[in-house]
A and B are shown apart, each in its own frame.
Chain A
Amino acid sequence: MTLKNNIGKDHALTLRMIFTGFLLFLTYIALFGILLFTGLPFGFVLIMGIGMVFFQYFFSDWLVLKTTRAKEVSESEAPKLHEIVTRLSLIAGIPKPRRIAIMDIEAPNAFATGRNKKKATIAVTTGLLNKLTDQELEGVIGHELAHIKNRDVAVMTWASLIVVIAGYLMQMMFWMSLFGGFGGGGRRGNGGQVWLMIMLAYVSIIVIYFISQLLTMALSRYRELAADRDGALITGNPMALASALQKISGQISKIPERDLRQVEHANAFFIIPALQGKSVAKLMSSHPDTEERIKRLRSIKNMIG
């Protein structure tokens, strides 16, 4: 086994992904159990949810390119970008993405989309091209190629199916409760029991929606960490990605410009926000904390040497 193969495996992260996937599976069972138990006619919602996710799965690249107004660029229009993508795709062992696009946006950012390796698209913003060094740009492209290699678009699209379905059900039940769709037979006798059962189902669906949302976000964060790791291995330069992440996340702008001797008297060192509700925000975030990502990239750098 090569050093690269050893580094490529992060068993703890893999286990966490499997566990999260298992919990997501349980939420599916719980949701369908509730639907079967209540016997409510939710077929339409299920079909709609699955239809939406199918659409997202098959047309995500087209949809994202349209909404971000990304313009596909040829090799002659963006030779450096094409060269980096071609070279790193070769190292990653995947086909060069079908489309390479640029978004005319000042904020540095990038994304990969497409349902499989052959139909992948990579898009970067003009801000990314202008603000990053060549090495940092390679770090970001490596990360996006890792997403393609790991089939993250497909994984996350299907993982979020339950959130979509539970979301639709929640909305539907909300409107039904407003307009008496639960059966206006009153709360007495059988009608009351049915009403109570439906309310329980409603609350359960809300709970499932939030839990599945949290689990999907957790899975997304794990996929990001895996893409960081794999991207760093593709380029062999984890710190370039770390540096790019700081620029992209805006953290680099937080690095002080003022001289140590100027701020000293103001005791600026003590003004370090330790907790700013970060823990809750972290749970609902699709991306891991930049600090954590950089820390992990540093460890990879340490392993690579």
Chain B
Amino acid sequence: MDIFKNIFSSKKESSPILYSLMNIIELEKSSTEITIKNSGAILLKPTDIVQQTKFHDGIKNYTNTSISDEITEFNLQDDSHNITWAILKTETSPQLVQGIDKISNYVATLNMGDKMIGSVFIAKFHESKAYIICNYRTSKFYPFIPSGKETRNHELELDLGHLLETNKIPIENHINWYPLWGALI
């Protein structure tokens, strides 16, 4: 899984994909149109119950021992798609990016990098709740802005996509802007 070695190494400077989000966090200081919230999640898809237990125990142990100072809240939840959501809350959004990066790195060191689907960040964009999803398969981001029950605000998504792209965040081709209905965060 070279891709994960590339994306998730222990050094900040060698994890350009997730850390590109810092550009948006920087933008918050001068712009009122977007705010990145201090909570996010990593989506994991274990193949079986044994792996699921290993994930749960391993991540819990890691967050309790290695990064407990950096996160204010952590919990694991499974959704109806049998996906495990590793949900983090931090005091600041840079801490959140760092926390998600560290946990993703940890999972990759367990040789289970390919079980991670991606990570999800919450933002407020033009007064709407928006998700910024990092697809670990392609190492790219895309916006998802639900506007109702299984409907999405595409115009605003385009707008957010534009904002991300102009801030040097790698953007997924729109044919891969898969929704995350009923997100747990």
Interface residues of A (CB under 8 A from B): 133, 135-136, 239-240, 242-243, 246, 251-252, 254-265, 267-270, 272, 294, 298-299, 301-302
Contact = CB atoms under 8 A, between A and B. Distances in A.
Interface in B136-185: 137-138, 154-155, 158-159, 161-162, 165-166, 173-181
A261 B118 CA distance: 10
Nearest to A302: B166
**Most A-side CB within 10 Å, residue of B154, B155, B165, B173:** B155
Nearest to A136: B155
B91 interface: no
Mostly, the B contact residues are mixed
A194 B174 CA distance: 58
B81 A255 contact: no
Mostly, the A contact residues are helix
Contacts of A267: 137
A255 B175 contact: yes
B59 interface: no
Contacts of B79: 261
A276 to B, nearest CB: 13
Contact of A259 (B155, B161, B162, B179): B179
Given A265-B45, A267-B137, A294-B158, A256 B166 contact: no
Given A135-B155, A239-B159, A246-B154, A259 B81 contact: yes
A260 B155 contact: no
Contacts of A260: 43, 117-118, 133, 135, 178-180
B3 to A, nearest CB: 12
Contact of A261 (B43, B165, B173): B43
B178 A256 contact: yes
B158 A246 contact: yes
Contacts of B158: 239, 242-243, 246, 294
B83 interface: yes
Contacts of A135: 155
A259 B176 contact: no
Contacts of B162: 239, 242, 298, 301-302
Nearest to B31: A305
Contacts of A299: 166
A136 B159 CA distance: 13
Given A256-B176, A260-B117, 14 more contacts: A239-B155, A240-B155, A243-B154, A243-B155, A252-B154, A254-B175, A255-B177, A258-B179, A259-B179, A259-B181, A260-B179, A265-B45, A299-B166, A302-B166
Which 10 pairs of residues, A with B, have the shortest CB-CB distance? A260-B178, A261-B81, A298-B162, A269-B137, A243-B155, A256-B178, A239-B159, A254-B175, A261-B83, A302-B166
Contact of A256 (B43, B83, B165, B179): B179
Nearest to A261: B81
Given A240-B155, A269-B135, A270-B137, A264 B45 contact: yes
Interface in B37-90: 43, 45, 79, 81, 83
B154 A261 contact: no
B151 to A, nearest CB: 10
A257 B179 contact: yes
A143 to B, nearest CB: 16
**Most A-side CB within 10 Å, residue of B79, B118, B135, B181:** B181
